[in-house]
Structure 1
Amino acid sequence: MDHASLTSLAALGDATRRRMFELIRQERRPMTREEVADSLGISRKLAAFHLDKLVAAGLLQARYESPTGIRKVGRRPKVYEPADDAVAVSIPERRYGMLADVLTEAVLTETDEESAHDAALRVARRRGETLGRAERERVRPGRLSAERGLTVAAETLAEFGFEPERITPTLMRLRNCPFHPMAAKAPELVCAVNQAFLAGYLHSLGSDKTTAVLAPRPGSCCVELRGEGSAEGSSETGSTCER
């Protein structure tokens, strides 16, 4: 791990700073120190101290923003937002090892009848199916409706770093790609592997009323989970996973 990553992790060793970082990531918008202080129940002076520490560690970036509405006289508010590469620190955790295992097994088991790309999708789907079976045995959820299937899936996917976000009862977006920035280098392959893994997981979980769909969206994983009746549009291909 390089020096910059160690510095970032050290900054997050403080519980208050970690809560701040997670809060600003979850809000998905720039926040002032006043907003952060009010959300965490601390003083503005203390919030400013910790926020500036997070900036110094490379986890947040700060800028001055004009107030909305009628322009007020005085200093523009200072706002904080995640730095472009902050997610790579490990919040949420990256899963490079899992992706490497999938690609290695694909190379070793590729048959004459399939391409390397198809082999990778086969292995990824099987890995997802294994995880889904294990989860079904653990939870024993019975018959799963689309809504219940997404609820059960959310806990597991959160552990894998996907940051699931329930948009509607039958639509779950994944705010983070656990394989970024590798996905940025080979989006067609990595996004397809991601989709195959999630499709296999849902199938063996018994959540057949939900599907893993390629749906690229800036700032999110390229895959989202849709249940029957979801109003979202059709799937897309050739997408790019985003952080």
Structure 2
Amino acid sequence: MASDVDPAAARPPATAGVETIAVLGDEVRRGMYGFVRRARRPVTREEVAGDAGISAKLAAFHLDKLVAAGLLRARYDNPAGVRRVGRKPKVYEPAGRDVRISIPERHPDLLAEILIDAMVTTEPGEDPRSAARRVAHGRGEELGAELRARTRPGRLGPERSLTLSRTMLEQHGFEPQRQAATELRLLNCPFHPLAARSPELVCGISHAFLDGFLTGLQAAGIEAVPSPRPGYCCVELRTTRGGTSSGEEDVTCRGAGRDRS
């Protein structure tokens, strides 16, 4: 039986997006995907084949490609209003996944979620910027804790911490690059061009998010450090002396919103 798990979810967003667009590059397949979306109900391969004017076997081939790309979900069930004797047919429906491609990768939705959560959870006497950093830190901490629970790395030293951090950073579009044994520089700001409009606010959120991630990961001997420079993310990861963190809160990011291109 087909799984309801989105096969594209395990791949980095940019990679999954490019592969998805490639699947939709076929005109027949693109028309079939549109038909399934417009149906507003699960449909069989025979229905899709009839609309596309192709055989059911060929339709099944294209539909399975759409499922593999994470655009459709497949399961065995009777279509609405249809009763059949014997095994239920395979039906297809939209997976509810948005398809977006940005190179370099951008994540304005994550920034928007942080800002909205900050607005609705602002505490008495708390200024908006502090609320945004608080929420960003909490979001990053949750991510770090999830990664630690999934990988069960045991005690983390600086080397292992940087390796695990690099995986998360790649998935979120930061384009990490190991500059030295003690430094992980981030070549892309996933919040650009919003960072260019309010660099101190957005870079403060980035710093809090990455600092929270390291907290949740329980990474020893590594910290998120404000390091604004043109063409890069305004934060980078560095190993620390004695494994202590500087605890910086304020970030000045002159030029951090500029693209390298």
- TM-score where L is the length of structure 1: 0.60
Cα distance in 2 for partners of 1:92, 1:170 equals 25
Q: Is 1:222–2:238 an aligned residue pair?
A: no
How far the C-alpha of 1:147 sits from its partner, in A, is 1.5
Task: Provide the rounded CA distance (Å) in 2 between the counterparts of 1:162 and 1:103.
Answer: 19
* Alignment match, 1:134: 146
Q: Are 1:164 and 2:212 counterparts?
A: no
**Residue in 2 that maps onto 1:238:** 252
CA contact (8 A) 1:177 1:220 kept: yes
1:130 deviates by 0.4
Quick check: 2:221–2:241 contact (8 Å CA) kept in 1?
Answer: no
CA distance in 2 between counterparts of 1:229 and 1:179 reads: 30
Residue 201 of structure 1 pairs with residue 213 of structure 2: yes
Instruction: Tell me by how many angstroms 1:210 deviates.
Output: 0.8
Tell me the CA shift for residue 117 of structure 1. Answer: 0.5
Tell me, yes or no, if the aligned pair for 2:224 and 2:237 is still in contact at 8 Å.
Answer: yes
Larger radius of gyration: 2
State the partner residue of 2:134: 122
| More divergent stretch after superposition (181-190 vs 220-229) | 220-229
- Gaps of at least 5 residues in structure 1 are 1-8, 14-87
**Matched letter for residue 188 of structure 1:** E
Report how far residue 159 of structure 1 moved: 0.7
User: Paired residue for 2:165, among 131, 153, 178?
Assistant: 153
Partner of 1:225: helix, strand, or coil?
strand
Quickly say closer, same or farther: Cα 1:242–1:207, change in 2 above 3 A.
farther
Corresponding position of 1:187: 199
- The answer as to whether partners of 1:184 and 1:241 remain within 8 angstroms in 2 is yes
For each residue in 1:156-208, what CA deviation from the matched residue of structure 2 results, as whole angstroms up to 9, or x when unmatched? 11010000000111100000000000000000000000000000001110113
CA RMSD of aligned residues (A): 2.5
CA distance in 1, matches of 2:167, 2:257: 21
CA offsets, 1:16-56, max 9 Å, x none?
xxxxxxxxxxxxxxxxxxxxxxxxxxxxxxxxxxxxxxxxx
> What is the rounded CA distance, in whole Å, between the counterparts of 1:92 and 1:153 in structure 2?
19
- 1:109-166 Cα offsets, whole Å, 9 max, x none, are 1011210010000000000000000000111111111121011110111010000000
**Cα contact 1:106–1:120 (8 A) shared by 2:** yes
Partners of 2:104 and 2:197 lie apart in 1 by 20
Equivalent pairs, count: 158
